[in-house]
Amino acid sequence: MATKDQQITDLLRATVDALGFELWGVEYLSQGRHSILRVYIDAENGITVEDCARVSEQVGSVLDVEDPITGEYTLEVSSPGMDRLLFRLDQYPGFVGETVELRLRSPFEGRRKFKGVLTGIEGEDVVIRVDDHEYLLPHSAIDKARIQPRI
């Protein structure tokens, strides 16, 4: 069964694509009366505030009609930013050599959080080097992955 994030992603992808943007990812944070739906968009030349407003208007209309979320929520449309989240396995190769923070759904070798250098992808696994140890972590086990920007 697809997660709420995946259902919303599937619902919005065509609309975002039609506007000329890439739907980078969707993050739904159910917090009772203060739930948030974050829609991340990207484009080759970057994202402007006007781009976010345009996408927000169109996506908001789709969400109003399809009504995939019960109750009230706040819609936020944003660029992924420098510290971008990685949602799909196909997003990882572009960030090989970068520092990433990963949080797993359940512990692996006694830990859930890993911070290290993304060294590659092997099949469905993400390879990360932490200090002098390489870990092969199944993408399906990753709850959240975020790039650490170089400043």
**50-56, long-range: CB < 8 A, 24+ apart:** 51/21, 52/77, 52/78, 52/79, 53/77, 54/19, 55/16, 55/19, 55/21
pLDDT of residue 105: 94
* Amino acid letter, residue 120: G
pLDDT of residue 70: 84
Residues in the chain where the model's pLDDT stays below 70: 1-2
Please provide the DSSP assignment of 67-86 as one string: --S-S-EEEEEE---TT-B-
All domains in the chain, ordered by first residue: 4-78 (3.30.300.70), 89-148 (2.30.30.100)
Is there a contact between 10 and 66 (Cβ–Cβ < 8 Å)? no
Provide the percentage of residues in the chain whose pLDDT is more than 70. 99
pLDDT of residue 31: 82
- The token pair at 140 is 């399906």
- Count of C-beta atoms within a 10 Å radius of residue 82: 10
CA distance 38 to 125: 26
